[in-house]
């Protein structure tokens, strides 16, 4: 049976995985001996902040403010460095955690949604379906 212990194990694995992602951003340089550019540093800091705050803050503007740069510059830098939008990166972090919890626990979808910072179950279901192509319950049963 699925237990709270399983949830803690999955969270630990997820955390280790995301630390690896942060390291990839930290170590990514176009030339092997080139120092990390300011843009790369912004991207690395964003991923780190996102990992710390994704269950509370889903707004890209929050992360731009935390990094003390304009939203427009923030979005430009993240896209330029990573090839993906800041919202896409943030959404992927949220969806990966949701998937892990759905598959590894018996926690009700409503509790998972709340734990991920969604106050509205209907919105979480739509958000999950938009990113995964099925509802959280369908994903759990697949």
One digit per residue, the tens of pLDDT, for the chain of length 142 reads 455 556 666 666 666 666 666 566 555 545 445 556 889 899 989 999 999 999 999 999 999 999 999 999 999 999 998 889 999 999 999 999 999 999 988 999 999 999 999 999 999 999 999 999 999 999 999 9
Q: CA-CA distance, 135 to 49, in Å (whole number)?
A: 28
Do 136 and 125 meet the contact criterion of CB atoms below 8 Å apart? yes
Q: CA-CA distance, 98 to 113, in Å (whole number)?
A: 8
Q: CA-CA distance, 67 to 76, in Å (whole number)?
A: 14
Q: CA-CA distance, 120 to 78, in Å (whole number)?
A: 29
Do 111 and 101 meet the contact criterion of CB atoms below 8 Å apart? no
pLDDT of residue 37: 86
Where do the H-state alpha helices sit in 28-85? 38-53, 60-66, 71-82
Q: CA-CA distance, 142 to 47, in Å (whole number)?
A: 30
Sign of the CA dihedral running 57, 12, 17, 19: positive
pLDDT of residue 32: 47
Domain ranges across the chain: 4-106
Do 64 and 98 meet the contact criterion of CB atoms below 8 Å apart? no
């Amino acid at each position: 049976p699925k237990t709270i212990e399983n949830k803690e194990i999955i969270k630990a694995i997820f955390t280790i995985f995301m630390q690896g992602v942060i390291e990839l951003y930290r170590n990514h340089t176009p030339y092997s001996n080139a120092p990390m550019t300011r843009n790369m540093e912004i991207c690395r800091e964003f991923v780190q902040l996102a990992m710390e705050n994704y269950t509370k803050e889903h707004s890209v503007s929050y992360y731009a403010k935390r990094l003390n740069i304009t939203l427009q510059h923030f979005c430009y830098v993240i896209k330029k460095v990573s090839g993906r939008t800041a919202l896409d990166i943030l959404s992927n972090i949220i969806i990966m955690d949701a998937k892990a919890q759905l598959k590894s626990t018996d926690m009700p979808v409503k509790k998972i949604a709340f734990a991920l910072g969604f106050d509205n179950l209907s919105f979480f279901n739509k958000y999950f379906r938009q990113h995964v192509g099925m509802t959280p319950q369908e994903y759990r049963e697949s």
